[in-house]
């Protein structure tokens, strides 16, 4: 198994086991997010993702930075991934243009309240370069991601998406796609396996919705370093409760001997 | 999902859900087998397989036939699959030549104490034809199987193995292979998917050992109609406890919505 775990500040997530488990926060208000963070932290995921595109105060940079600090406290030592998912790739509509989003990311990077950021690889290369510089200057890991919420591209294109993320300077390359058939699920797993063997950085993948849900448990066997599971509320179709994912992973580990 | 369930005497196993769960019996003596059958039946698999190559009395046809009747009673209504796995395909050494094995199968078919028989597709075509006739005359389903305990043949060959079983008159086509890499596991799942879409009869598959163990839970999603799980003791490497398989299948069913 050449696949490698995600490291944040020099420490491998989940003690280096694949996959680590990440639970999203999708609250729309400060109070909802603080309650959600406490409830999610109690379930002890390896990573917590704040999906800031759900937050109604996203246009108020000081409020976001302050809330990041409060979520850091609520997370009780669990590292935090900061993510604005774009509308095009499955996120919520927000009242910011892309340079404003980038400025928000940079302010959050500088706050010291998060450990990693996720940004779509399809964004303007100049903005990507700026974020990479800001993330690394502050010791954060950069996830570069690709999502196809409508279908599953062919195998070669999927592998290229992982490779492109690495070329763009990602510390973690993430690909999430929607299956239209059982074959699409196998294509995503095969692409994950190939990418995990080719890339120097960890890869993360999932096939979404009910058809792809098994990849959220089995993906680690094919090199995916992280799986997203529901602590409070799902952020994408097909996410399973964290208890189910942990039970499934434990079962597979016993089985693999 | 074009895959179809196994039907025994007109009734689909597991109410038609994929995959059904089969637990093997591997006792060496009558008393061990009767105890094992009672313990396994208490775990309510959908099918019980008697691996008669483990039975030290295999050369005594009347003893085998009588014991089949006793196992029928112990199984409490759970249907029984009768299997002599050959040494070449992963079974135990036995003191019978192949025509003697065939005579044993025919006597068991006539006894009315089992519901299906498994025989390797690589056997002499004349013996295969004889068994097919005997099985069908007595209303039993015929599993024709292929096992590679050393490796995983290429995708095209795997699909041909399923197709060959159907051409030879199988009611169920089974392929079990040993993975040497994560890729082999995906190849087996892809072959299962293709075969389940091409064949008119149900297909059954698994990738063995720890590397392939996930196929024992996920195989149904790619068309495998049956998974083997441990009620008492395993009959092949990588089999999981029946409780784990049932928990994993329940998890995937909730996830698939």
Residue ranges per domain, chain B? Answer: 18-255
Across chain B, mean pLDDT equals 96
pLDDT number for residue B236: 87
Cβ atoms of residues B94 and B60 within 8 Å: no
Q: A219: distance to nearest CA of chain B, Å? A: 10
Alpha carbons B6 and B116: distance in angstroms, whole number? 11
Name the nearest CA neighbour of A123 among A171, A89, A166: A89
What is the fold of B18-255? TIM Barrel (3.20.20)
Name the nearest CA neighbour of A21 among A256, A254, A257, A250: A250
With residue B158 as reference, give the H or E element that holds it. Answer: helix B155-167
Interface contact flag, B251 A244, Cβ < 8 Å: yes
pLDDT number for residue B179: 98
For B93-111, what is the mean pLDDT?
98
- pLDDT of B201 > 80? The answer is yes
pLDDT number for residue B208: 96
Interface contact flag, A186 B185, Cβ < 8 Å: no
Query: How many whole angstroms from its chain centre is CA A3?
Result: 17
| pTM score | 0.96
**A·B CB contacts under 8 A:** 74
- pLDDT of A1 > 80? The answer is no
Alpha carbons B132 and A54: distance in angstroms, whole number? 62
Q: Which of A55-64, A229-238, B93-102, B150-159 has the lowest mean pLDDT?
A: A229-238
Indicate the pLDDT class of residue A237, thresholds 50, 70 and 90.
Answer: confident
Residues of B tagged active-site: 147, 174
pLDDT number for residue A256: 83
- pLDDT of A234 > 60? The answer is yes
Query: How many whole angstroms from its chain centre is CA B52?
Result: 12
Indicate the pLDDT class of residue B238, thresholds 50, 70 and 90.
Answer: confident
pLDDT number for residue B64: 98
Backbone angles phi, psi at B180, to 5 degrees: -110, -5
**pLDDT tens column, A99-129:** 999 999 999 999 999 999 999 999 999 999 9
Cβ atoms of residues A229 and A22 within 8 Å: yes
Q: A140: distance to nearest CA of chain B, Å? A: 32
Cβ atoms of residues A32 and A228 within 8 Å: no
Number of other CB atoms surrounding residue A151 within 10 Å: 11
Residues of A in contact with B255 (CB under 8 A): 210, 213-214, 216, 238, 240, 244
Alpha carbons B79 and B63: distance in angstroms, whole number? 20
- pLDDT of B1 > 70? The answer is no
Indicate the pLDDT class of residue B2, thresholds 50, 70 and 90.
Answer: low
Residues in chain A: 257
**pLDDT tens column, B13-25:** 999 999 999 999 9
């Amino acid at each position: 198994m050449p696949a490698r775990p995600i490291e944040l500040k020099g420490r491998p997530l989940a003690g280096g086991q694949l996959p680590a488990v990440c639970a999203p926060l999708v609250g729309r208000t400060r109070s909802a997010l603080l309650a959600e963070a406490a409830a999610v932290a109690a379930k002890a995921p390896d990573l917590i993702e704040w999906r800031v595109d759900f937050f109604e105060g996203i246009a108020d940079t000081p409020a976001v930075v302050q809330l990041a600090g409060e979520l850091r406290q609520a997370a009780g030592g669990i590292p935090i991934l900061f993510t604005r998912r774009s509308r095009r790739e499955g996120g919520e509509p927000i009242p910011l243009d892309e340079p404003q989003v980038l400025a928000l990311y940079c302010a959050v990077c500088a706050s010291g309240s998060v450990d990693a950021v996720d940004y779509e690889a399809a964004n303007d290369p100049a903005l990507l370069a700026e974020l990479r510089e800001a993330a690394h200057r502050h010791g954060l890991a950069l996830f570069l991601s690709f999502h196809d919420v409508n279908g599953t591209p062919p195998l070669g294109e999927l592998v290229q998406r992982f490779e492109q993320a690495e070329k763009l300077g990602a510390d973690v390359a993430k690909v999430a796609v929607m299956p239209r058939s059982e074959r699409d699920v196998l294509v995503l797993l095969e692409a994950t396996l190939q990418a995990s063997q080719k890339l120097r950085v960890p890869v993360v993948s999932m096939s979404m919705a009910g058809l792809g849900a098994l990849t959220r448990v089995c993906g680690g066997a094919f090199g995916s370093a992280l799986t997203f599971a529901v602590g409070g509320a799902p952020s994408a179709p097909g996410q399973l409760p964290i208890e189910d994912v942990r039970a499934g992973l434990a079962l597979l580990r016993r089985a693999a001997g």
